């Protein structure tokens, strides 16, 4: 019996992981606790990732999820890619916006179809536009026909984003020209051509 009481007291005295506590504080209504937790989690880098990913699944607190996304962005940890992709379909546009925005750092080729879908179908224009900007930074993206169809549609609200699509088209075309000139046969031909 004494042994059982000793074991139970040991279990009660066992402290919670400090990073888990910081994740809980990030979800606190107290702004000071949230700010301190944010800094502590940023400093912990990859160690906080599993706790953040678990907490994102369990909460609907929009500000908490956005803060967690910003911390995950700073870590650049590849474990965060799939959970962040799931947030592309979150109910709140700010969560979608922030989740998509971090992918200029992660560079995951598998998000290209999802970004194209967000550009065309998301109901929030800010989400559509951040999707376009992230897509424009991806070297793997080369679908000129998709970009031309955007120019013909009325999806792009501002002249800035129309200019961005034109810039993306030129970038893809110049990459294609460079790759042809760097090809072993093309390289020799490019060097021996007369002006």
pLDDT in tens, 117-176: 999 999 999 999 999 999 998 888 899 999 999 988 877 778 888 899 999 999 999 888
Q: Tell me, what's the pLDDT at 13?
A: 44
The yes-or-no verdict on residue 187 having pLDDT over 70 is no
Radius of gyration of the chain (CA): 23
pLDDT in tens, 3-35: 554 555 545 444 567 888 888 888 888 888 888
The mean pLDDT of 173-195, rounded to a whole number, is: 62
The confidence band for 98, taking pLDDT boundaries of 50, 70 and 90, is very high
What DSSP assignment string belongs to 141-184?
---HHHHHHHHHSS---SHHHHHHHHHHHHHHHHHHHHHHHHSH
pLDDT in tens, 85-95: 999 999 999 99
Chain mean pLDDT for the chain: 83
Q: Tell me, what's the pLDDT at 182?
A: 61
What are φ and ψ of residue 25, in 5° steps?
-65, -30
Angle at 78 between CA 169 and CA 57, to 5 degrees: 105
Distance CA 167, CA 188 (A): 29
| First-residue to last-residue Cα distance in the chain | 96
What DSSP assignment string belongs to 93-135?
HHHHHHHHHTHHHH--GGGHHHHHHHHHH-S-HHHHHHHHHHH
């Amino acid at each position: 019996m004494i042994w059982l009481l000793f074991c139970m007291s040991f279990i009660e005295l066992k402290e919670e992981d400090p990073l888990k506590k910081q994740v809980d504080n990030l979800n606190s209504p107290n702004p000071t606790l949230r700010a301190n937790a944010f800094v502590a989690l940023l400093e912990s880098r990859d160690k906080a990732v599993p706790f953040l990913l678990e907490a994102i699944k369990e909460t609907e607190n929009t500000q908490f999820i956005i803060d967690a996304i910003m911390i995950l962005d700073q870590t650049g940890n590849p474990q965060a890619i799939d959970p962040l992709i799931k947030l592309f379909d979150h109910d709140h546009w700010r969560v979608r916006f922030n989740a998509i925005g971090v992918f200029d750092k992660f560079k995951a080729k598998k998000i290209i179809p999802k970004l194209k879908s967000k550009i065309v179908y998301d109901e929030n224009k800010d989400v559509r536009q951040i999707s376009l900007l992230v897509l424009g930074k991806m070297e793997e993206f080369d679908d000129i026909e998709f970009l031309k169809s955007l120019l013909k549609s009325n999806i792009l609200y501002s002249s800035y984003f129309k200019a961005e699509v034109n810039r993306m088209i030129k970038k893809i075309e110049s990459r294609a020209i460079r790759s042809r000139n760097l090809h072993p046969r093309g390289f020799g031909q490019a060097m021996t051509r007369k002006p």
